[in-house]
Amino acid sequence: MTKKKLVMIGNGMAGLRTIEEILEREAEKYEITIIGKESYPNYNRIMLSNILQKKMTVEETIMNSYDWYKENHIQLVTGDPVVEVNRNLKYVTTKAGCKFEYDVCIFATGSKAFVLPIPGSTLPSVIGWRTIEDTERMIEIAQSKKRAIVIGGGLLGLECARGLMDQGMAVTVVHLAEWLMEMQLDKKAGELLKEDLEGQGMNFKLQASTSAILGNEDVTGIELSDGTTMEADLVVMAVGIRPFIEVAKESGLEVNRGIQVNDYMQTSDSDIFAVGECAEHDGKVYGLVAPLYEQGKVLADYLTGRDTAGYKGSTTFTSLKVSGCDLYSAGYITEDKDVKGIEIFDSQQNHYKKVFVKDNVIVGAVLYGDIEDGPRFFNMMKKEELLDDYTMVSLLHKGGESVGLSIEDMADDETICGCNGVSKGKIIEAIKTNGLTNVEEVTKTTKAGNSCGKCKGQIGQILEYTLGDDFIAAKPTGICACTDLTRDQIVTQIRAKQLKSSEAVRNQLNFKDKDGCPKCRPALNYYLNMVYPFDHEDEIASRFANERYHANIQKDGTFSVIPQMRGGVTDADQLIRLGEVAKKYNVPLVKVTGSQRIGLYGIRKELLPQVWEDLEMRSASAYGKKTRSVKSCVGKSFCRFGTQHTTQLGIRLEKMFEYIDTPHKFKMGVSGCPRSCVESGVKDFGVIGVENGFQIYIGGNGGTEVTVGQHLTTVETEDEVVLLCGALMQYYRETANYAERTAPWLNRLGFENVQAVLLDQEKQQKLFNRIMKAKAAAGNEPWRQIVDNEFAQSIFEVEEVKV
């Protein structure tokens, strides 16, 4: 059977996605020729800002290599744009005079940067940013010039401005509107964005119109409409794009803003189609990648004879690729008589969320600072989910639901990759069917993550959720697959470069995935908390879901609630409240835990806040990588074998070190005699009371592989026990890899080396002082710095235990 000839005019993202979809459906149907204006194979135009911001190289942005074209028997023409389409004889002609016949022709010519038609706009250092060539030209200019002006404070302009700053230039953004990104953000979010970017050193001139670019042979500055002049060596136009429609118009196709198409992306000529930024559907031209890919899928269906409902338009979303500025915008973002807004603003952390509702359905959302809910809102918009089950005051979380959906909670039809329309279920199916084990394999198979890349963290979470230990077993050379750097190298650079956020670490240390993954995000948050206990703001979104919920998810999707009971000691009032809560919420299981606490099991997630409120008790530190409970026996107060007051010491240790983050869970046990009823020998820090004091054991771990603790020393007083415990914890905090328990840590560093550090009085005291600072930074009990081993009694005050 003779193949039909398909000629694609344009070699960009939308066109190539269409070709990929056609090849997936019916690879032998067409003889394909692709003709591109640029001298590159298909590359990810979204990532040009990453090249400018020194996060990626040109080679890393290539999406379809030259080999890919050869493997799929596609004739590729680069650097020779089409100048004519002869519709009668059905061939196209390039600028070099080459002719290619077609049965089907697809315009995928994209857009061009709009350059303001003002005096001076043709000077050499005036650039409309759109291509790799434009990007390389700006980088070249930045090597010798130091002042740049970016005209346009939209998405593209801000990413460009940040990149030029990374190239060493002083940058001012001139913007016509009252606030930044006014097409995607409301005024409040725009103001927050401006404040953060000014903090990074970016300058702004808002509500300003450029009337001329100054200079004779090259740029020297700009003049505003009010007569103000500003000096500059480089001017970048980022005031918008215009569909490239000239060739289509000359060929007689119907054009308006773009090439007009129907629901099947068909132009006024039945054999010619248009897709991407050059196409106008139902009066709209789209400039974001997600709708362009949706168009490509519809066109591929149509050209391979598959049933399709056609393209019906798209709901779009936007995110910004600028270090330190997290924003998300989707849908309709203006209030009117039919659309009402619901907003929350946390001024302490500069987190702003606003959703727009019409007819009890979300139609838009603007998030700044904390954007974790963005994909959830976007999915609700696409599904037109009614809000009857949601409470408005918590900003559209179901009654009592914690912030953000975990991967476990997401339905299989939830969209993970908005750019490519890939759902959680499709990713899981691909993992299971194809034996995928890493993010790169998932991206290659499903295309999820190969556009803006924002979803790669969630893809990693799905891999971990689906594969369990098989995913964890894949050991990268660095702390995770995002980097080849070790824990020690990262912590050294955090200190040397004074990096104060996970995003800054990933960008400055050139992580492959600038958004991080489920392994490095919590690890970096821990390392930063450890290095800068006062200066680093804890990144809640990087913590595991259990830590955010203050509850542990069980296999049936319900949660366990475990209130704090220091030393396993409780009273009648607490027991009554526990019983009342268990009855009120029909708790299926009430159990005394192995850590001497009472747990309530089988509680639905939406009930967690009410349960905690009714209990009037603090959460036990039972879920995170931090100090856990201190298990103790009754000691000499009641036991005839007891040698020390162990319950009192257990409570004292727990009060002193509770809620302090550690690389992994840190458990303690205090036994009143060598019979060790609380199994102190398999605790990270174990204490056994003897006649002359306390034996100290370290590095004991329970679990699938039990490790018995090693005897560190014997001390005489409780004060010495507390001091040693703090020193051990801090040394562990400062030298262990994140998620490394004390047993392998002790084995790696060597017991004798650790023992030498901990028993050195000066080092011991310094370590203890540092953990006290960590405790103060964590907002725990008041503390006083202890100097020269003089213990202030207030530090060690313990309420008398009443049994």
The Cα–Cα gap between 311 and 504 comes to: 40
- Is 144 in a helix, a strand, or coil? coil
Alpha-carbon torsion (287, 291, 292, 293), positive or negative: positive
Contacts of 647 (CB under 8 A, 6+ apart): 567, 568, 569, 632, 633, 634, 635, 637, 670, 801, 803
CA distance 234 to 141: 8
Encoded amino acid at 530, one letter: M
Helices (H), 369-519: 374-383, 424-434, 439-446, 456-467, 469-472, 487-496, 502-508
3-state secondary structure of 475: coil
Alpha helices in 204-346 (DSSP H): 246-250, 289-303
Q: Note whether 333 and 184 are within 8 A (CB).
A: yes
Token digits for 331? Answer: 């849908």
**DSSP per residue over 271-312, as a string?**
TEEE-STTEEETTB---SHHHHHHHHHHHHHHHTT-------
For 348, the enclosing helix (H) or strand (E) is none
DSSP class of 47: G
Residue 482 in contact with residue 503, Cβ under 8 Å? no
Cα–Cα distances in angstroms (integers) from residue 310 to residues 299, 425, 596, 667, in the given order: 8, 23, 62, 59
Contact 764, 758 (CB under 8 A): yes
Which residues lie below 8 Å from residue 75, measured CB to CB, with a gap of 6+?
32, 33, 34, 69
Q: Is 480 annotated as a binding-site member?
A: no
639 annotated as ligand-binding: yes
| Angstrom distance (rounded) from CA 727 to CA 139 | 50
Compute the distance between CA of residue 521 and CA of residue 457 in angstroms, rounded to an integer. 9
Rounded Cα distance between 441 and 309, Å, is 31
Distance CA 735, CA 749 (A): 9
| SS3 assignment, position 157 | helix
Planar angle of CA 319, 324, 327, nearest 5 degrees = 25
Residues 6+ apart with CB under 8 A from 780: 658, 659, 660
H-state helical runs in 560-665: 572-584, 608-615, 646-657
User: What DSSP assignment string belongs to 102-116?
Assistant: -SEEEE---EEE---
741 near 697, Cβ under 8 Å?
A: no
The distance from CA 362 to its chain's CA centroid, rounded to whole angstroms, is: 23
550: amino acid identity, one letter: H
CA–CA distance, 173 with 111 (Å, rounded to integer) = 23
Is residue 633 marked as binding? yes
Q: Which tokens hold the place of 509?
A: 């240390």
Provide the residue count of the chain. 803
Residue type, 682: V
Amino acid identity for residue 659 in this structure: Y
In 3D space, the residue among 298, 315, 316 whose CA is nearest the CA of residue 307 turns out to be 298
> What is residue 142's DSSP assignment?
H
Please tell me the distance from the alpha carbon of residue 518 to that of residue 524, in angstroms, as a whole number. 11
Closest listed residue to residue 276, CA positions, set 453, 7, 11: 11
Q: Is 455 annotated as a binding residue?
A: no
Which pairing describes strands 693-698 and 685-690: parallel, antiparallel, or unpaired? antiparallel
Q: Give the Cα separation of 203 and 215 in Å (integer).
A: 22
Which residues sit in the known binding site for siroheme? Answer: 677
The annotated binding site is made up of 633, 639, 673, 677
Extract the annotated binding site for [4Fe-4S] cluster: 633, 639, 673, 677
